[in-house]
Amino acid sequence: MLLLCSRVTRILNKVTRDELSVQNIITSKQMKGLKIYIATCFLMLAINTASQAIKTDTIYSASLPEVTVSASRTQSGISDLPQSVSIITSAEIMVSPYNNVEDIVRNIPGLYNFRHSSLHTNGIISPIEMRGVGKNRVLILIDGVPQNTNFNNSIAWVAWGHIPKDAIERIEIIRGAASALYGSEGLGGAINIITKKPIDGRNNSLTAKAGNASTFMGNGFYSQKRKNLSFMVSGGYEKSDGFYMLEIPEEFNTLRHREKGQLFGKLIYEVSEKSKLGLSALYFSQDAGQGRTFFHQNLQLDQYTLDYSHLFNGFKLEGIAFLNRANKTAYQDNASDNFTSLFRKENFRNIYHTGVDIQGSLLKWQNLKIVLGGAYNQAYLNYNEEYSGSDRDGGAKGKQQIYSPFLLIDLKLFNDKIFANLGIRYDNIQTSEGRNWDTQASAGKPPYDNEYDGVQRESFSPKMGLSWRPAPRTTLRTSIGKGFRAPGLFELYKVHVRQGGTFYREANPLLYPEQIVSWDIGAGHTFMADVFLGVTYYQSAAKNYIGDRLINAAPFAQGTGIRYEYMLDNISEVKIHGIEMETRWRPAEYLTVKGNYTYNISRVEKDDQDQSLRGNYLPNNPRHKIHLGLNYSNPEIINVFLGMNAFARIFFDNENTLEKERYNTLDMSVSRTYADKFTVFVNAENILNNKYPIFLSPSAGNTIAPGTIVMGGIKYEF
Domain residue spans of the chain: 2-717
Please tell me the predicted confidence (pLDDT) of residue 500: 64
Q: How far is CA 13 from CA 7, 402, 650, in A?
A: 10, 48, 13
Checking if the pLDDT of 367 tops 60, the result is yes
Q: pLDDT tens across 499-531, in order?
A: 666 778 888 999 999 999 999 999 999 988 789
Q: DSSP string of 409-460? A: EEEEETTTTEEEEEEEEEEEEEEEEEEEEESS-BTTB--EEEEE--EEEEEE
Distance in angstroms between the alpha carbons of the first and the last residue of the chain: 37
Binned at pLDDT 50, 70 and 90, residue 556 comes out as low
Return the CATH superfamily for domain 2-717: TonB-dependent receptor, beta-barrel domain (2.40.170.20)
Beta-carbon neighbour count of residue 36 at 10 Å?
10
The DSSP 8-state label assigned to residue 675 in this structure reads T
pLDDT at 180: 95
Q: What percent of the chain has a predicted confidence (pLDDT) above 90?
A: 60
Q: Distance (Å, rounded) from C-alpha 635 to C-alpha 408?
A: 43
Question: For residue 117, what pLDDT is reported?
Answer: 80
| Burial (0-12, 13-18, 19+ Cβ within 10 Å), 321 | middle
Give the confidence band of 563 by pLDDT, cuts at 50, 70, 90: confident
Tell me how far CA of residue 262 lies from CA of 96, 171, 186, 402, 504, in angstroms: 20, 19, 27, 30, 36
Q: pLDDT tens digits for 321-330?
A: 999 998 989 8
Q: What is the pLDDT of residues 135-169, one digit of tens each?
A: 788 998 999 999 886 544 544 456 678 899 999 99
Angle among Cα 225, 227, 233 to the nearest 5 degrees reads 20
Residue 483 in this model has a pLDDT that exceeds 60: yes
Spatial neighbors of 696 by CB under 8 A, at least 6 apart, are: 652, 653, 658, 660, 702
How many whole angstroms separate alpha carbon 706 and alpha carbon 119?
9
Q: Which residue has the higher pLDDT, 701 or 123?
A: 701
Residue 125, pLDDT score: 59
Q: β-strand 503-506 against 562-588: which pairing, if any?
A: parallel
2-18 helix and 29-55 helix, angle to the nearest 10 degrees: 170
* pLDDT, tens digit, 9 for 90 and up, residues 330-348: 898 887 788 889 999 999 8
Residue 27: predicted pLDDT: 40
User: Pairing mode, if any, of strands 67-68 and 315-333?
Assistant: unpaired
DSSP tally for the chain: helices H, then strands E: 7, 36
Can you give the pLDDT at residue 379?
A: 92
Q: How does DSSP assign 193-229, residue by residue?
A: EEEP---SEEEEEEEEEEETTTEEEEEEEEEEEETTE
CA distance 669 to 672: 11
Alpha carbon 276 to chain centroid distance? Answer: 30
Percent helix, strand, coil in the chain, to 5, is 10, 60, 30
Chain segment 398-419, per-residue pLDDT in tens = 999 999 999 999 999 998 899 9
Determine the pLDDT at residue 452. 96
pLDDT digits (tens, 9 = 90+) for 199-217: 877 889 999 999 999 999 9
Distances 20 to 15, 25, 444, 624 between C-alpha atoms, Å: 10, 8, 44, 17
Q: What is the pLDDT of residues 581-614, one digit of tens each?
A: 999 999 998 999 999 999 999 999 999 888 889 9
Tell me the one-letter amino acid at 203: N
Residues in CB range of 657: below 8 A, 6 or more apart: none
Q: Would you state the pLDDT for residue 11?
A: 45
pLDDT of residue 24: 39
One-letter amino acid at 707 equals G
Maximum distance among all Cα pairs of the chain, rounded to whole angstroms: 83
Question: CB neighbours (10 Å) of residue 179?
Answer: 31
pLDDT reported for residue 562: 75
Position 693 scores a pLDDT of 87
The Cα–Cα gap between 304 and 267 comes to 12
Half-sphere exposure for 380 (CA within 13 Å, toward CB): 12
Q: State the pLDDT at residue 338.
A: 82
**Count of C-beta atoms within a 10 Å radius of residue 58:** 8
Contacts of 245 (CB under 8 A, 6+ apart): 116, 118, 119, 256, 291, 694, 703, 704, 705, 706
**Mean pLDDT, the chain, integer:** 86
Answer whether 303's CB lies under 8 Å from 282's CB: yes
8 A C-beta contact, residue 114 and residue 582: no
Instruction: Report residue 86's pLDDT band, with 50, 70 and 90 as the boundaries.
Output: very high
Task: Tell me if 622 sits within 8 A of 647, measured CB to CB.
Answer: yes
Distance CA 78, CA 62 (A): 13
- pLDDT tens, position by position, 115-125: 778 876 555 55
* 503 three-state secondary structure: strand
Of 159, 151, 141, 158, nearest in space to 380 by CA: 151
24, 140, 350, 618, 661 from 648: Cα distances, Å: 16, 26, 42, 14, 5
* Cβ neighbourhood burial of 336 (10 Å; 0-12, 13-18, 19+): exposed
